[in-house]
């Protein structure tokens, strides 16, 4: 049984909920990532913010990235549990059109699964099947 824990990046770092969007963008740039999980002081996952969120919802709306906070753009949170099987993970990612899925254990962030992780899981024979990859790609990228 392959689980989210087997595929995820375990080194995902949170941005604190009260940090500004400028700080979030700087952190994304420094880490070479396009999304950051948002955590509260208790280190529990509160949301996720993407580079696209910052551009569209802050800059594109004429708002100030030095005053808007990460939590202002947290939106609805979708995540999986570390012990969820890959079918559950892929179904949630497909259903909600999510390309970066936070992984939690006891409410705390333990990792993140990206499309690249799925592809590498397949390439490294970690249990992501051809069928799962094809169905995922079709649901995420096929024109309906």
Average pLDDT of the residues in 107-136: 74
pLDDT of 124 strictly over 60: no
Average pLDDT over residues 37-65: 92
How crowded is residue 123: how many other Cβ atoms within 10 Å of its Cβ? 10
Question: What average pLDDT does the segment 1-5 reach?
Answer: 85
State how beta strands 15-16 and 100-105 pair.
unpaired
List the domains of the chain with CATH numbers: 4-141 (3.10.580.10)
pTM of structure: 0.79
- DSSP secondary structure, 20-79, as one string: BHHHHHHHHHHHT-SEEEEE-TT-BEEEEEEHHHIIIIIITTT--TTT-BGGGG--S---
């Amino acid at each position: 049984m392959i689980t989210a824990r087997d595929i995820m990046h375990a080194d995902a770092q949170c941005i604190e909920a009260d940090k500004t969007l400028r700080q979030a963008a700087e952190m994304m740039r420094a880490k070479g990532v396009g999304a950051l999980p948002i955590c509260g002081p208790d280190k529990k996952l509160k949301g996720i913010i993407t580079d696209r969120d910052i551009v569209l919802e802050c800059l594109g709306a004429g708002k100030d990235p030095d005053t808007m906070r990460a939590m202002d753009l947290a939106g609805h949170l979708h995540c999986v549990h570390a012990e969820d099987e890959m079918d559950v993970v892929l179904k949630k990612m497909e259903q909600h059109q999510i390309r970066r899925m936070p992984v939690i254990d006891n409410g705390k962030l333990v990792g993140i699964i990206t499309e690249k992780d799925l592809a590498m899981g397949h390439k490294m024979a970690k249990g992501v099947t051809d069928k799962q990859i094809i169905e995922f790609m079709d649901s995420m990228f096929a024109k309906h």
